[in-house]
Amino acid sequence: MDKNWIKKLPIDQITDIKPISGGDVNDAYQVVTTKQRYFLLVQPNHPKSFYESEIAGLNAFKEAGIKAPRVIATGEINGDAFLLLNFLEKGSGSQRELGQLVAKLHKTASPNGQFGFDYPYSGSSINFDNSYTDSWIDLFVNRRLDKLAQVILEKGLWTEQDHTLYKKDREIIVATLEKHDSKPELIHGDLWGGNYMFLSDGSTALIDPAALYGDRELDIGVTTVFGGFSSDFYEAYQEAYPLAPGYQKRLEFYRLYYLMVHLNKFGTLYTNSVQNALETVINDQ
């Protein structure tokens, strides 16, 4: 990194800064000072508002008693947004504790009784409107699935035939969710295996939230896409906060959503996975 850029960070006595893995959205660094280490996220050529939603999510986690990174500072340097967090030391932990932690998160009800969040979701490839609404179908189907479907079509990542298949899926999803009692509860929003950590003290933390108050089955569906969650996780979650009957079918909706996110972001690598997910929703009705 540019030394002049580093000097503008609101911390003193920096002795080292080096790139580390931090997901596919941000540039990530470990910053070492004479007293402690920090985790630095940078989004080049974006205003500091880029991190407003993530900061709000981390603060919501803190209020809910969920261990997560602490916000140290945020701002903008030379046109680049940055977010400085405390550094979490990796260790080992329990999938059962992880299941209990996610259940605890999901028991946090929306303060206004509505679905949504105080800030929109801002990603590197798509943004979603999180304005509050009484309808989960409005938030999830109208604003997320439909937007993804249109963008994917416009990018040429699927054909009109694929789009027609999506419309059939959409009818099934809407009809099913109309019969389901979705509740607006605090969810992670991007709960894949890379977004939790077992820490050096054996505890568990959730990281990199795309938080909103939504149907908790979205989080559980996302956990099933890429693995990283054992049977102990699901057993502990169900013991702490059982899912309503028929959830296996509804989880397919959220697997489809998450794979569509990846098709939009990474391209044809996910074409077959999305096609299979579209067909699964129809075959499972």
Asked if 190 is an active-site residue, the reply is yes
Domain-ending residue, one of 86, 117, 144: 86
Task: Count the alpha carbons within 13 Å of 151 in the hemisphere toward its beta carbon.
Answer: 18
Query: pLDDT for 63-107, tens place per residue?
Result: 999 999 999 999 999 999 999 999 999 999 999 999 999 999 999
The answer, yes or no, to whether residue 140 has pLDDT greater than 90, is: yes
Query: pLDDT for 159-188, tens place per residue?
Result: 999 999 999 999 999 999 999 999 999 999
Q: How far apart are CA 258 and CA 260, in angstroms?
A: 5
Domain-ending residue, one of 42, 60, 86: 86
Question: What pLDDT is stored for residue 143 in this prediction?
Answer: 98
Q: How confident is the model at residue 23 (pLDDT cuts 50, 70, 90)?
A: low
Residue 262 belongs to domain spanning: 95-283
* Active-site option among 24, 80, 129, 190: 190
Which CATH number goes with the domain that contains 56?
Answer: 3.30.200.20
Which CATH number goes with the domain that contains 274?
Answer: 3.90.1200.10
Q: How far apart are CA 216 and CA 231, in angstroms?
A: 18
Residue 4 CB contacts under 8 Å (≥ 6 apart), including other chains: none
Q: Check: CB of residue 253 under 8 Å from CB of residue 281.
A: yes
Q: Are residues 41 and 100 in the same domain?
A: no
Q: Are residues 36 and 152 in the same domain?
A: no
Question: What pLDDT is stored for residue 1 in this prediction?
Answer: 74
Residues in the chain: 285
Question: Cα dihedral sign for 171, 175, 180, 183?
Answer: positive
Question: Which amino acid, 65?
Answer: G
The answer, yes or no, to whether residue 24 has pLDDT greater than 70, is: no
Give me the number of domains the chain comprises: 2
Domain-ending residue, one of 57, 86, 115: 86
Q: Is 61 exposed, middle or buried (0-12, 13-18, 19+ CB in 10 A)?
A: buried
Q: Are residues 80 and 178 in the same domain?
A: no
